A and B are shown apart, each in its own frame.
Chain A
């Protein structure tokens, strides 16, 4: 029983990593000078929510931060009836 649980359980470290990346990008921006990647994320989400209801569960924002290059990946699931809200 316990063994089964052990194998079926998914890894938790990737979740920790992603949560931290998003959170810290946000906190760094609010404490220090504004951060371009965070600004982009916020504005992209705002722009999308103008046209459709964005379900928090269906949005995944990932950031990779490097010394020279950072990347921002925004994944949003758009349901069939997405346009309804905008109307």
Chain B
């Protein structure tokens, strides 16, 4: 039985899709079977970031409405044979997602894949709540910036109340992925520091992805950043985050901090 992960944030533009694609590819590179599901119905972009935009025939809504089989809608990545994409619909809207339909699709994907990564749309409405509904683990993508942190706090509240896990009285496993981190600005005191964000949100840290041109460059050519240039700083950060997702206790290095990061172990700020 595979693990279902939701990549969510509340705020748009913080790097949910980039992170979904990068983590999906990082996990799949080890031979594990991974599917990345785009829940942003109406504004799909995961296909573009993964370079599969011209191969989309059927989508999530088609499958939910019974117009296509799941196997027809799944697109296999051209670079990694264990990486798949389930695209969102571009022409319809979020009302086409039904709770029962999503449950069925996620249930079927869990049987066939080791990891089911749900790329949530921005916002806190239907699309976002359905994307998180069946998750076993949540990755909260946050930028070190006030509006993103506030929205993440809101999303954490939803994860603790509106998911199946929360409703059945279980604890939802949540991880913070800090993206677009600029060590120079943090050093100058003009960007929230890692510890500030951790203290405010009090969920364990999965990784810190530095602000980098490599992310834009990878999306330009339609490749997850972990496949485009695996030695680039953001790729390294995503590979490490993927290892932590697998349960490895790997310390998180804060970009720009030369020493003292050995103390920053994954999970040290567990809520």
Interface set of A (CB-CB < 8 Å, partner B): 11-14, 16-17, 19-21, 23-24, 27-28, 31-32, 64-67
Contacts and interface: CB of A to CB of B under 8 A. Distances in A.
B271 interface: yes
B221 interface: no
A28 B153 CA distance: 8
B200 A65 contact: yes
B157 A31 contact: yes
Interface stretch (B184-192, B212-220, B230-238): B184-192
B200 to A, nearest CB: 5
Given A65-B202, A67-B202, A24 B192 contact: no
Contacts of A16: 145-146, 192, 196
A21 B271 contact: no
B189 A12 contact: yes
Interface of B: 145-146, 149-150, 153-154, 157, 161, 186, 188-193, 196, 199-200, 202, 269-271
Contacts of A67: 202, 269-271
Contacts of A12: 189-190
B157 A13 contact: no
Q: Which label, helix, strand, loop or mixed, suits the secondary structure of the A interface? A: helix
A19 B192 CA distance: 12
Contact of A13 (B154, B186, B270): B186
9 contacts: A11-B190, A13-B189, A13-B192, A13-B193, A14-B189, A16-B145, A32-B161, A66-B199, A67-B271
Pick from B186, B200, B271 the residue with the most CB of A within 10 Å.
B200
A20 B149 contact: yes
A64 B136 CA distance: 30
A28 B150 CA distance: 10
Contact of A24 (B150, B188, B190, B193): B150
A19 B199 contact: no
Contacts of A13: 186, 189-193, 196
Contacts of A65: 199-200, 202
Given A13-B196, A23-B150, A67-B269, A28 B157 contact: yes
Nearest to B195: A17
Contacts of B188: 11
Nearest to B160: A32
Contacts of B153: 24, 27-28
Given A20-B192, A24-B150, A32-B157, 14 more contacts: A11-B189, A12-B189, A12-B190, A13-B196, A14-B189, A16-B145, A16-B196, A20-B149, A23-B150, A27-B154, A28-B157, A31-B154, A65-B199, A66-B202
A20 B270 contact: no
Nearest to B185: A13
Contacts of A14: 189
Contacts of B157: 28, 31-32
B166 to A, nearest CB: 12
Nearest to B156: A28
